[in-house]
Amino acid sequence: MNEAVDQLLAGPPLGASEGELVDWISRLEEVKCTAEAVQAEAAVRLEEATRARQADAGVPARKLGEGVASQIALARRVSPAKGAKLLGLAKNLVAEMPHTFGLMKAGLFSQWQATILARETACLSIEDRRVIDYQLCAPEPDGQPARAATMGLRQLENAAKKLAITLDQESVVNRAANAEKDRRVSVRPAPDTMTWLGALLPVKDGVAVYAALDQAAKAAQAAGDERTRGQVMADTLVDRVTGRTADGSTKPRIEVKIVMTADALTNDSDQPAMIEGYGPVPAIWAREALNDAEVFVRRLFTDPAGQLVAMESHSRRAPDGLAEFIATRDGGVCRTNGCDAPIRNVDHVERHADGGATSAENLQGLCERCNQAKEALGWQARPGPDGSIITITPTGHIYVSPPPDTWRPDPPPLSRAEFVLRDVLLDHRLAA
């Protein structure tokens, strides 16, 4: 790293003026943009090198490049799905969008801005994509910055859409029709034991659902309902999807895996519980939730140390009970570092063909992408003695996935005195 960048990353000096601080922030943003461009260039070269190595080893053409996106994800500490998107963006920028890539290298365009342009031109031919790349990201004849460099994100998106429709309206229409195949529902955690429930729907269906909920809210408020409009819409959605009735006479039968200690379940402890697919929740909340519906409760036994009891099988495929045990132990999400995708496969850490046992210690929950990546040429994995998983990529880089802690009791929080003492000891060690 050159001296100027080193000085910049060291931070502004004490006593810097407001103007100097703004300049520092601006220069750091330029460095970030340039770094993202260089990362993209390195990603393309990594794929080229990997494909060449795999081809020399006799890997079939359809499998060339397998595992590259996962290596990028591990290196950049993001999910494999995000790694695949970053690799795709990098290839588009380097091969098809030279002016966008040039803006990034100059520190004037962020990775997200480049993503917007790549996304809105994805359905076009390479020639048409290059036209938009030139019109929006090439320097102006009078030496002024490129148009895209001064646009807001919405402006940039709209400008790219407008040009795409002008150049090839048929491709844009066809992409919109194909997009219906991607309709789906998703759920993700929100603060305070809430969740974000989302649905990607065709516009006519999405608008119709919203209008129906809005109509229900207006009717309820006209009848004197004291709930807010948003509360009525949310409650109506739940009622209509699950079959729950507003008066509580009908409760849906659901299965939610709530992992909690026996003491917490019987109100003798406030040790947080874990909800698979969500995360930690207060014990009192979990106890109340169990009374809110007909919930099927599955007992999970632990040893004296608080660890889930292991299970083992002599077959290659994990039996259903063992597979469910692994999914619960791993918290319902892929064990790969940085990956939050739901578990789709219960897989051997050390391959069964290499002598790996079908046991809790040698099994892990993986998403589809990570399960495929670890089968690529040169990937190795082994279980650690503490329940961790050690993965070695074809380049020799080592990544350790820590043991799942969804079921481990947490140590009690530090008291104020202990916290102060710890900081004093840390300061003393640093001074020494």
Per-residue pLDDT of the chain (432 residues; tens, 9 = 90+): 578 888 888 899 999 999 999 999 999 999 999 999 999 999 999 999 999 999 999 999 999 999 999 999 999 999 999 999 999 999 999 999 999 999 999 999 999 999 999 999 999 999 999 999 999 999 888 778 798 999 999 999 999 999 999 999 999 888 888 888 899 998 888 888 889 999 999 888 988 999 999 999 999 999 999 999 999 999 999 888 888 777 666 666 656 666 666 666 667 677 777 776 677 777 777 777 666 544 444 444 444 444 544 444 455 667 777 788 888 888 788 999 988 888 988 989 998 888 888 888 899 999 999 999 988 999 999 999 888 999 999 999 999 998 876 545 555 565 666 656 666 666 666 565
Of the CA atoms within 13 Å of residue 127, those in its CB half-sphere come to 2
Read off φ and ψ for residue 363, nearest 5 degrees.
-120, 150
What per-residue confidence (pLDDT) applies to 298? 46
CB 374 within 8 A of CB 71: no
- Residue from 131, 113, 80, 108 nearest 399 by CA: 80
Domain ranges of the chain: 3-181, 184-250, 258-295, 312-401
Report the pLDDT value the prediction gives residue 66, as an integer from 0 to 100: 94
CA 212 to CA 410: how far, in whole Å? 45
Distance (Å, whole) CA 121 – CA 161: 8
Tokens standing for residue 409: 């009791």
Whether residue 291 contacts residue 273, with contact meaning beta carbons closer than 8 Å, is answered with no
Strands 253-254 and 294-295: what pairing? parallel
* Cα angle for residues 305, 311, 316 (degrees, 5° grid): 150
Give the tens place of pLDDT for each residue, 78-128.
999 999 999 999 999 999 999 999 999 999 999 999 999 999 999 999 999
Q: CA-to-CA distance for 85 and 78, rounded, in angstroms?
A: 11
Q: How many CB atoms lie within 10 A of CB 124?
A: 21
Each residue's pLDDT tens digit, 341-381 = 889 889 899 988 888 888 888 999 999 999 999 889 999 99
As given in the structure block, the two tokens for residue 308 are 């889930």
Q: What is the pLDDT of residue 426?
A: 64
pLDDT tens sequence across 151-176: 999 999 999 999 999 999 999 888 88
Say what the pLDDT of residue 415 is. Answer: 63
Closest by Cα among 68, 71, 20, 23 to 48: 68
CA dihedral in degrees (45, 50, 56, 58; nearest 10)? -140
Q: Do 155 and 113 touch, CB atoms closer than 8 A?
A: no
